[in-house]
């Protein structure tokens, strides 16, 4: 008996939608990654993209447990000398909230050309609305296992914005002129 091998023409992708509000990032990513790879199907074939599309809404309301909002950092590198940057999780959530979940899922996918193609089927949106109503996405139940610990910091800490500008009082006050000393006349 031969093993079944999926063929590209036989496949039809489904669309799923999931609400990320109150979901722990890693658990949600572990639920989404196998769907993007197609491992939830009996027709899974490793060298063919058999995965489905996943729409994730409310990505700005994901949860990190423990002290990760303050302590977890994300690194990026521009490719230039001195171009490595580090950013805290709370700062990344303010700047690009979808990137936290995207990076968690991306790191669970295969690191090759087909993995990058599978990641194109992930659609992340801030807020509850998305433009894919025409695809009739089926709702996907979020992981209902262990809830977040009671002592966990579920929201990022409030942070004061640091400005490089001078405070308003210093900028508005004119500088006092320096005292001028009379020029000494050379003795003749």
Q: What is the pLDDT of residues 152-172, one digit of tens each?
A: 556 666 666 665 666 666 555
What's the burial of 97, exposed, middle or buried (CB within 10 Å: 0-12/13-18/19+)?
A: buried
User: Is 80 exceeded by the pLDDT of residue 149?
Assistant: no
Query: Whole-structure pTM over 0.95, yes or no?
Result: no
DSSP structure string for 27-79: HHHHHHHHHHHTTTSTT--TTS----EEEEE-GGG-B--TTHHHH-EEEEE-S
Q: How far apart are CA 67 and CA 156, in angstroms?
A: 9
The whole-number pLDDT of residue 82 equals: 96
Contact partners, residue 113, CB within 8 Å, separation at least 6: none
By mean pLDDT, which of 29-38, 87-96, 138-147, 165-174 is the weakest?
A: 165-174
The whole-number pLDDT of residue 184 equals: 64
Mean pLDDT of all residues in 29-41:
96
Secondary-structure breakdown of the chain: helix, strand, coil percentages, each rounded to the nearest 5? 30, 15, 55
Q: How far apart are CA 171 and CA 135, in angstroms?
A: 56
Average pLDDT, the chain: 86
The whole-number pLDDT of residue 168 equals: 60
Q: Which fold has domain 11-144?
A: Ribosomal Protein L13p; Chain: A; (3.90.1180)
- Helix or strand or coil: residue 19? strand
User: Is 90 exceeded by the pLDDT of residue 73?
Assistant: yes
Contact partners, residue 26, CB within 8 Å, separation at least 6: 104
User: Is 70 exceeded by the pLDDT of residue 2?
Assistant: yes
Q: How far apart are CA 143 and CA 121, in angstroms?
A: 20
Q: How far apart are CA 44 and CA 35, in angstroms?
A: 10
Q: How far apart are CA 121 and CA 55, in angstroms?
A: 8
The whole-number pLDDT of residue 157 equals: 64
Percent of the chain with pLDDT over 70: 76
């Amino acid at each position: 008996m031969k093993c079944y091998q999926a063929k590209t023409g036989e496949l039809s992708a489904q669309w799923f939608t999931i609400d990320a509000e109150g979901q722990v990032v890693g658990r949600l990513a572990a639920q989404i990654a196998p769907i993007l790879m197609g491992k939830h199907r009996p027709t899974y074939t490793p060298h063919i993209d058999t995965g489905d599309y996943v729409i994730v809404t409310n990505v700005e309301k994901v949860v990190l447990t423990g002290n990760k909002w303050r302590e977890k950092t994300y690194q990026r590198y521009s490719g230039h000398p001195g171009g490595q940057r580090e950013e805290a999780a709370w700062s990344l959530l303010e700047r690009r909230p979808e990137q936290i979940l995207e990076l968690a899922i991306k790191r669970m996918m295969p690191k090759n050309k087909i993995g990058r193609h599978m990641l194109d089927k992930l659609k992340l949106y801030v807020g509850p609305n998305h433009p894919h109503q025409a695809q009739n996405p089926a709702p996907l139940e979020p992981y209902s296992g262990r809830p977040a610990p009671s002592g966990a910091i579920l929201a990022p800490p409030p942070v004061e914005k640091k400005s490089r500008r001078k405070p308003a009082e210093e900028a508005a006050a004119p500088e006092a002129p320096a005292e001028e000393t009379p020029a000494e006349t050379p003795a003749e």
